[in-house]
A and B are shown apart, each in its own frame.
Chain A
Amino acid sequence: MTAPAATPTGAGVPPELAPGRGFRPLAAVGRLFAPLPGVVALFGEHIILLARALIWLFRRPFRLRLFLDQMEFVGVGSLPIIMLVGFFTGAVTALQAILALSLFEQQRYVGFGVGISLARELAPVFTALMVTARAGSGMATELASMRITEQVDALTTFAVNPVQYLVTPRLVASALMVPVLCMVFNILGLIGGYVVAIISYQIDLGQVLELFRHGVDPIDYFQGLIKAFFFGVTMATCACYQGLNVRGGAKEVGLATTRAVVSTSVTVLVLDYLLIQIMNVLFPYGGM
């Protein structure tokens, strides 16, 4: 890496660091916050896209095939990876739980520990992240390449609204399929936990089930599914926004995909925190 002063034109050097102007700390701090209005505007644009996609959901024509295609892409397409990740997440959680619980000789609580962590946290978040890596990135890439080859404009020339045709089906499919996949993740996670705890550590199944039934409530699953629903909406919105707003060529398509994955992942984690806070008020945790 060359020092800024060595770059002949000084291109890329922020003005307050340019040679001969002295270092101005206030300006540098100011620059740290310079992207803030941009982030707020960006957030607003995502919300507008989401709102337009929702409005177009209720306008004619209804193209059922597009919705089914997207559900297949998001749901069926992600099934193998979700099952794999779900199984190992459950297994690993069980391993760690047994380790911690054995300090108190209370290994029989493993079913409760695995079940509640999966239901409330691990299944929705991991599902969202895995589906984003697979389907969200695919959506962004597809829409971005349609944009730069003018296929999005071509839709408009047939008086087909691109938001209705491209965004709405992806949004609906993600909002419905991420919760379904989250449930699959839960089931496979419990199977993973079962394999570790019952088969490999030979903890008594009767006691484990008893405590699981006692401690894990349908409300816990319900909360996880609510989160998964919002994560699905987030993924489709971020992916479609990045895809439709691309300018340039192949390189920008790649960048759009990267941005879609990063922005979805960050938003999912922030949203997770907010949703937990909200739901803790709505459904106070009953405990064991």
Chain B
Amino acid sequence: MAGDLTTRDERWQIRIRDLHKSFGAQHVLRGVNLDVERGKINIIIGGSGQGKSVFMKHLMGLLAPDSGHIFVDGQDIIGLGDVAIGKIQRKFGMVFQYAALFDSMNVVENIAFPLLERYRLPKTEVMERVRALLTRLDLASTAGIEQKFPAELSGGMRKRVGLARALIDRPEILLYDEPTTGLDPIATKNVDEMIRRTADEFGVTSVVISHDMASTFRIADRVAMLYEGVIVANGTRPEILAAPHPVLREFVETSGAVRFGGGPS
């Protein structure tokens, strides 16, 4: 983890140093240190309420920390002004835990939003890209979905529309907050494959928060565990499997999805 933090590093795209965040008396992040590897799938696991979503929102400047630093390609994003942070945010896309769809817009308008905001594209091309994503996310089979509003969708559908909205402009870095929680097994598998393919084909740096241990150890390149406000375990998937931290081992084995020592079951 050595090296100058303020220059672009070939291997580590995002470097987080000693990040602290409190809400009132509650000290949620207590000195988080983590390096996110470029072009790889970096999965963060941890118990409910440990601050995973809060941590993720810091990565693209949605929340400001009490102290600490986040370097994105060598630039510290803490304390930047409106315009400068906007430039950094252009590299990111985020899939929210609760979708966060714009409820004044229908499905197509939601998914097309990033394209319409950034480029002047012919309407047919926009629709083509929207429809392609709807199909890949198993949403196209629902009759009339394009004109539906978020309030008229099921939780799982909303989630996938949020995913489509984040993917359509293919950002350099994608943050996924529990992309598969609440989806059925087949949809889960498809979303997992989609995350893997997006990373492999386009070299997208992915940070994924996941509660699904089986899929974590299927698609992750790196795994980190957030526990009591710090990263207690962090390494490549083989490293983690070979020598798990005791807290992580207990957390993962309780799910029954992975056995340590012998690799993934």
Asked if A214 is an interface residue, CB under 8 A from chain B, the answer is no
Q: A153 to B60: give the CA distance in the assembly, Å.
A: 10
Closest 6 A/B residue pairs (Cβ): A150-B100, A154-B100, A157-B94, A159-B89, A159-B90, A158-B114
**Would you call B96 and A150 a contact (CB within 8 A)?**
yes
**Would you call A153 and B62 a contact (CB within 8 A)?**
yes
Among candidates A52, A59, A151, A159, residue contacting B102 with C-beta atoms closer than 8 Å = A151
- 10 residue pairs bridging A and B, Cβ less than 8 Å apart: A149-B103, A151-B101, A153-B57, A154-B100, A156-B61, A156-B89, A157-B89, A157-B94, A159-B87, A161-B86
**Would you call B92 and A157 a contact (CB within 8 A)?**
yes
Within 8 A of A (CB), among B57-108: 57, 60-62, 82-83, 86-87, 89-90, 92-94, 96, 98, 100-103
**Would you call B96 and A154 a contact (CB within 8 A)?**
yes
Q: A149-B98, A150-B98 are in contact. Are A157 and B103 (CB under 8 A)?
A: no
- With a cutoff of 8 Å between Cβ atoms, the chain A residues found around residue B241 in the complex are none
Q: A150 to B54: give the CA distance in the assembly, Å.
A: 12
Residue total for A at the interface (Cβ-Cβ under 8 A): 16
* A61: nearest chain-B partner, CB-CB: B117
Asked if B113 is an interface residue, CB under 8 A from chain A, the answer is yes
Task: Enumerate chain A interface residues (CB-CB to B < 8 A).
Answer: 52, 56, 59, 61, 149-151, 153-154, 156-161, 163
* A69: nearest chain-B partner, CB-CB: B104
**Would you call A157 and B93 a contact (CB within 8 A)?**
yes
* B82: nearest chain-A partner, CB-CB: A161
Q: A52 to B92: give the CA distance in the assembly, Å.
A: 24
Q: A201 to B98: give the CA distance in the assembly, Å.
A: 64
Q: A191 to B101: give the CA distance in the assembly, Å.
A: 47
Q: A160 to B115: give the CA distance in the assembly, Å.
A: 12
* B-side interface size class: 20 to 34
Report the number of A-B residue pairs with Cβ-Cβ less than 8 Å: 50
Asked if B252 is an interface residue, CB under 8 A from chain A, the answer is no
SS class, residues of chain B in contact with chain A: mixed
* B63: nearest chain-A partner, CB-CB: A153
**Would you call A157 and B102 a contact (CB within 8 A)?**
no
- With a cutoff of 8 Å between Cβ atoms, the chain A residues found around residue B96 in the complex are 150, 153-154
Beyond A149-B103, A151-B102, A158-B117, list 20 extra A-B contacts (CB 8 Å): A61-B117, A150-B96, A150-B98, A150-B100, A151-B101, A151-B103, A153-B100, A154-B100, A154-B102, A156-B62, A157-B60, A157-B89, A158-B93, A158-B113, A158-B114, A159-B86, A159-B117, A160-B117, A161-B86, A163-B82
**Would you call A157 and B117 a contact (CB within 8 A)?**
no
Q: A275 to B118: give the CA distance in the assembly, Å.
A: 42
Asked if B207 is an interface residue, CB under 8 A from chain A, the answer is no
Interface centre among B61, B62, B87, B100 (most CB of A within 10 A): B100
Q: How far apart are A183's CB and chain B's nearest CB, in angstroms?
A: 30
Q: A158 to B102: give the CA distance in the assembly, Å.
A: 12
Q: How far apart are A167's CB and chain B's nearest CB, in angstroms?
A: 12
How would residues 229 to 265 of chain B score, 1 for a CB under 8 Å from any chain A CB and 0 otherwise? 0000000000000000000000000000000000000
Q: A157-B62, A158-B117 are in contact. Are A149 and B100 (CB under 8 A)?
A: yes
* B177: nearest chain-A partner, CB-CB: A150
